[in-house]
Amino acid sequence: MFRNTLSDLKFLFLFPFQGPDWANRFIIGCAFLIASYIVPLVPMLFVYGYVVDVMRRVIGGEEPGLPPWQDWGRLFMDGLRAFAVGLVYLLPGTLVYFGSVGLYFASFFVPLALGVEEQQMFWFVMGAIVILFVGIFLGFLLYFLGAIPLPAALAHFVAEDRLGAAFQVRRWWAVLKERRWEYAIAWLLIFGLVGIMWFAMTLLYYSLCLCWLIPIAIVPVSFYVTLVVGALFAMVWRDYGVRSTE
């Protein structure tokens, strides 16, 4: 994946702050993230589309960089398709998790509506607690199982520029199997990066004089991590995406 490991890793983690007009391009991405707090989903689709553009260029052989924000229609459609891929892979875990939480809260109201006796009410609540913990565990497990292959599915979709390519498991699995160690290393790097960012946010949280920076810092940090994640997995897929269609 990397020709010169240390220098390539350094460039990978710094590329969002390099290149022509990088500051304005980075600020635009942050502005869309801020807008997503006001208008649900739509601004995020442009961010997803922008990351797809970054991935497409890297898979095509370019070095990671911030491309200009242009062709807004394509950015929106690419973002919508990327969102659809993520939704399919992560939906089972999300449904199980929120379903168990919903059943837990319903256990307090349904027995009252049905006129259940107090002793039976106790068993309703106890059963709901068991369902809650089992559901949370299964939800996180399914979410994890969906998240692990998700970058491979997204990279395959980007490489072929077809939504259906993300769900052609046999094709992208062949590429993933060939580059399994690079893929595992990419995940380790992401876990490390997220861990560092989380640690930094925790320090800010417990700092009385700097905790006010958290709402300000979380937007650029989120955009930065999203860019690096997209570029990193695109580098794993580079020169291999087209071969998966053979």
Q: What is the pLDDT of residues 169-223, one digit of tens each?
A: 998 988 888 888 889 988 998 888 888 888 887 877 777 676 767 777 889 999 9
Q: What's the whole-number mean pLDDT along residues 137-154? A: 93
Query: Buried (b) or exposed (e) across 134-164, using 16+ Cβ within 10 A?
Result: ebeebbeebbeebeebbbbbbbbbbbbeeee
CA dihedral 28, 33, 37, 39 (to 10 degrees): 70
The answer to whether the beta carbons of residues 217 and 201 sit under 8 Å apart is: yes
The answer to whether the beta carbons of residues 236 and 50 sit under 8 Å apart is: no
Nearest to 28 by CA among 194, 204, 227, 214: 227
Q: Which of 67-76, 104-113, 132-141, 156-165 has the lowest mean pLDDT?
A: 104-113
Q: Return all residues near 36 (Cβ < 8 A) that are at least 6 apart.
A: 42, 43, 44, 47
Q: Tell me: the pLDDT tens digits for 29-75?
A: 999 999 998 998 999 999 999 999 999 999 988 889 999 999 999 99
Q: Tell me: the pLDDT tens digits for 61-114?
A: 888 999 999 999 999 999 999 999 999 999 999 999 888 888 877 777 766 666
- Rounded Cα–Cα distance for residues 158 and 144 (Å): 22
User: For the chain, which residues make up each domain, given as ranges?
Assistant: 5-70+152-245, 87-147
- Rounded Cα–Cα distance for residues 12 and 48 (Å): 19
Cα-based distances in Å from 203 to 2, 129, 169, 209, 214: 32, 34, 41, 11, 10
Task: Tell me: pLDDT of 123 over 80.
Answer: no
Q: What's the whole-number mean pLDDT along residues 148-166? A: 93
